[in-house]
Structure 1
């Protein structure tokens, strides 16, 4: 393997993928959410950066072409596992997450079965949009966890009626409950909508890969 900067970034992103889950084993929330969110944002940025550098510097390698999609899939799959697990298995998250996970396993198995022919299944522009949408959705969903836990910390020990009065403006909001609630709601909704869009794109691109692979599977 040639240790070019793009390849190093890809390897670091692959190594960071399991750390997203490990954060929740060794840190309490919301610190685990912050660490996971930071790791995921850095990994998402390097996903674009390493590909751009490899093309710009003429450093595209077979090893880099292999590691890059593996790192993307590992990051997305592990992040979705953590988010779904901490959402108490909300069906609104489970369904698009299931579609995404199924597609990743299906396409990976398809590529492995096709062997050398798999090189003909090029990554399409729609597939790149799918990956970008997944990463933005997951970033917002991790952000929701941050807002949710700061809101919970701010209301700890408060009577429910007092919280309600603060949120409707009858009591001065000295603890910032309003903006924390808004942040939680908006980041959750944006993340959820984007995840459903990503799920739809995932299904479309998965079918596209299968359609292109079908001539090689007929025998």
Structure 2
């Protein structure tokens, strides 16, 4: 249970309050720089926890359970903080809302299907969605650390919209599978 991959996953959950605290004060570039470094470190641990679990043959039920939760907690916390600091605002709130709603809906759908013993594997497109989403949020955090480089913020918002579009497509894919198992 207390394998290195599981500890890496747990470290991401434990790091979320530090990430939130670093983003708490808008206009504090040093806080955003700390948040960006922590966000990148969390991304690296996300890669290595799965890689190590598979490579060492230590994939566990706890890890399978916690990994997507750690991802969703981190993504939701960052989106909420960037909305709260107005780094994501105006029309861009729609993209953020699409991402958050899909995360909640797919989690509920997966729980429902698990009760029916139906597995829904993560598609390659969903992996691309996650990658683009992580890049978008990372760019938006980095933009707060480098306020003189306005283009970084623009790139982050464009990537956020790209992630939102992929979110709609992959969310629909999961829903179609789920609807086949509903009365």
The Cα offsets for residues 28-52 of structure 1, whole Å up to 9 and x where unpaired, read as 8122212211111111111111111
List aligned pairs for 1:83-122, cutoff 5 A. 83-87=82-86, 90-117=89-116, 119-122=118-121
- The 3-state SS of whatever aligns with 1:121 is coil
What residue number does 1:213 align with?
178
Structure 1 residue 89 displacement after superposition: 5.7
1:138 alignment partner in structure 2: 137
1:8-46 superposed Cα distances (whole Å, 9 cap, x missing partner): 100101111232212244898122212211111111111
Contact kept in structure 2, 1:13 and 1:46, CA below 8 Å? yes
Alignment of 1:123-162 (within 5 A): 123-148=122-147
**1:180-191 residue pairs with structure 2 within 5 A?**
181=148, 183=149, 185-191=150-156
Tell me if 1:200 matches 2:165: yes
Aligned to 1:39: 38
CA 1:28–1:87 in 2, change beyond 3 Å: closer, same or farther? closer
Aligned partners of 2:165, 2:27: CA distance in 1, in Å? 34
CA shift for structure 1 position 74: 0.7
Shift, 1:92, TM fit: 3.6
Aligned-residue CA RMSD (Å): 1.9
CA distance in 1, matches of 2:24, 2:79: 16
Q: What TM-score does the superposition give when structure 2 sets the normalisation length?
A: 0.92
Contact 1:84 1:94 in 2 (8 A): yes
Unaligned stretches of 5+ in structure 1?
A: 149-180
**Relative to 1, partners in 2 of residues 1:118 and 1:43: Cα closer, same or farther, differing over 3 Å?**
farther
- Measure, in 1, the Cα distance between the counterparts of 2:15 and 2:118: 27
Number of residues of Structure 1 aligned to a counterpart in Structure 2: 183
Q: Which residue pairs with 1:61 in the alignment?
A: 60
Paired residue secondary structure (2:70): helix
What secondary structure does 2:122 align onto?
A: coil
Whether the aligned pair in 2 keeps the contact of 1:99 and 1:202 (CA below 8 Å) is yes
Inter-partner Cα distance in structure 2 for 1:69 and 1:119: 17
Structure-1-length-normalised TM-score: 0.77
- C-alpha distance in structure 2 between counterparts of 1:143 and 1:27, whole Å: 12
The answer to whether the Cα contact below 8 Å between 1:141 and 1:187 also exists between their aligned partners in 2 is yes
Moved over 6 A (4+): none
